[in-house]
Amino acid sequence: MRVVSLVPSLTEAVAVTLPGVLVGATDWCTHPAGLDVPRVGGSKYPDLDRVRALRPDLVLLNVEENRRADAEALEAAGIAVRVTYPRTVPAALAELADLLAARGAAEEPAWLVAARRAWADPPRPTPVRRAVVPVWRRPWVVLGSDTFAGDVLRRLGVDNLYGEDAERYPRPDLAELRGRGADLVVLPDEPYRFTAADGPEAFPGTPCALVSGRHLTWYGPSLAEAPAVLAAQLARPVTAPGAD
């Protein structure tokens, strides 16, 4: 079996569980550390010629991270693709188990067993915090309805104020964001790299939690430690003066 992954979290899952199966990954596949496989460009615009040259039996994609056109082009070239789309933690755990079993894993890896255990009873501080969750700025984009990251936060006691929006990734302006009545702003470091110096200043007077984007949005080995990591980060918000 030769697998090319165009999804960073799945790259990590396959690489640590089935050594030798992964033969290609994107430039954004940063885990596991020291991963030594050919790179095929970005997730949104991979070099399909490079992918085909690796002679994969299967290419892994995700609805949100990759383009339908690339999946269709690979299929037209006779290459099997597997497209993932988990929008809840249980769905992600189930998809991971099925994917790894289908690729030859004799049993669930230790990290997946640990992830199931961690999410069976995650830390859930009270009271529930009412939050907005930007994932991009210029323009502002926030988590809306039916997202994996939104489910992660819900299980950690964070009520996404755009969680019932008609769109999965609404684009409100800053005035609307500030007026939403949030008592917390959650700022991940990916896909946009929010930092203490880039993000909190847009929400003067409102606590802002800087969190790991990998633990918030990736579904793979990071799921085992995500509840503890995110709970600790959510408990240490910063409040910045000033305006955007």
- pLDDT digit string, tens, across residues 78-128: 999 999 999 999 999 999 999 999 988 889 999 999 999 999 999 988 889
| Domain residue ranges in the chain | 3-85, 119-234
| Topology (CATH) of 3-85 | Rossmann fold (3.40.50)
How many C-beta atoms surround the C-beta of residue 222 within 10 A?
Answer: 21
The predicted-structure confidence for 16-75, as pLDDT tens digits, reads as follows 999 899 999 999 999 999 999 999 999 999 999 999 999 999 999 999 999 999 999 999
Quote the CA–CA distance of 75 and 69 in Å, as a whole number: 10
Topology match between the domains 3-85 and 119-234: yes
Question: Rounded to whole angstroms, how far apart are CA atoms 107 and 127?
Answer: 39
Instruction: Write down the architecture of domain 119-234 according to CATH.
Output: 3-Layer(aba) Sandwich (3.40)
128 secondary structure, DSSP code? P
